[in-house]
Amino acid sequence: MSDAYFYVIFLLFVAVQANTLKKRWRLHLLRGEDWFFGVRVQPGFYGDPGRKILRAHRMRLLFPYVVELLAAALILRYGRPVQLTYLMFGMVALIVPNHILAVVAAQRQARRYELPGSQPSPTSVLLPLETRRLRDYTHLSLEIGLAAANVLALALAYRSSDWAVPALMLYLQAGALLIKVALVGWRTLLPADHAEAYAEWREQARRLFLDTCDTVRILLAAELLFAVCFDYLGGMPALISATVVMLIAWVAWYNRRRNRFLALTGGITPVKLPGALELEEYPRGVLCYRPAYPAMLIKGPQRYSLNLASRRTQAGVAYAAGLAGLCFWMFS
């Protein structure tokens, strides 16, 4: 593929990032001026203490972009444009967890200025008795379409000696499927008050993330097909145009869904739900091994702990190791 392809994709990626950063910059005001994310703050918070917390939070938000800028400069100076693709994957893996951790850290700091009694922590919780299965969140026609596109792409790629791109695209699709499995198993515990509203919010969140996984799988399958049909499509201009159109459509779709979800989130008062109900001793570190507990994340009084005994955690670790191996193979 020509260098122009990687430059165009990277520029699109930067444009999407800028738009996302703009939204995250003011996300702390989602529930209004009385709130800092999910913390109901005391009047005057945004004066002295809040300003410092907000500044530190925004610095944390900017951190991955500084890393990206430096890495992109090094790649453009010493590397090859194809490495911009790996940088983009790396950035996605860095930006999302960084944002989550930044929000968690900022909220923790803001709790010192929380309006007393503003966040209820009910001891009584409701547990939905509906069975959640992956197949209930699976669209058969979509799966058939994706399978057909992948089989067709592999059949066309069979003649090619370059298996790196098809292997990566298929592996990433499998990763999106793995995330879907984890999302279906996402802990669903509801406060006794306004349970219906919380259940609706939780379900909408689950649907948003699941649909995002599905649309990412569509993008990857389509991109794989376009990449192997490179010659038939008429070369680079057609490939770039198809990619740009797909990405723009996806960003528009995602923004619309996300805005709808954020509007719903703004109307929900955060509740501190109890952690694991039965643990005699909460895990102390961020990692733990509790074979008798099937939860992937065990919520303690202070933080979550990743349960290495959970099947989903093990699948995730195996997947990450496989991805690292695949990237190593591609580089070498």
Name the site residues for other proteins (rule: CB under 8 A).
123-132, 185, 187-190, 192, 195, 274-279, 292-296, 298-299
Q: Minimum Å distance from CB 317 to other proteins?
A: 18
CA proximity to 190, closest of 134, 129, 258 = 129
Q: Minimum Å distance from CB 137 to other proteins?
A: 14
C-alpha span between 209 and 136 (Å, rounded)? 15
Q: Minimum Å distance from CB 121 to other proteins?
A: 10
Alpha helices in 158-235 (DSSP H): 164-184, 195-228, 230-233
Sequence-separated (6 or more) residues with CB below 8 Å from residue 298:
275, 276, 279, 282, 283, 288, 290, 304, 305, 307
Looking at residue 147, its amino acid is A
| DSSP-assigned letters across all residues of 259-281 | HHHHHHHHTS--------SS-SS
Report the residue number, 286 or 292, with the smaller CB distance to other proteins. 292
C-alpha span between 190 and 127 (Å, rounded)? 6
C-alpha span between 92 and 98 (Å, rounded)? 10
SS3 117: coil
Report the residue number, 93 or 134, with the smaller CB distance to other proteins. 134
Output the six-digit token pair for 117: 């009694």
Q: Minimum Å distance from CB 159 to other proteins?
A: 44
Q: Minimum Å distance from CB 255 to other proteins?
A: 31
Report the residue number, 315 or 326, with the smaller CB distance to other proteins. 315
Task: Using DSSP bridges, classify how beta strands 39-40 and 35-36 pair: parallel, antiparallel or unpaired.
Answer: antiparallel
Q: Minimum Å distance from CB 131 to other proteins?
A: 5
Report the residue number, 165 or 276, with the smaller CB distance to other proteins. 276
Report the residue number, 124 or 141, with the smaller CB distance to other proteins. 124
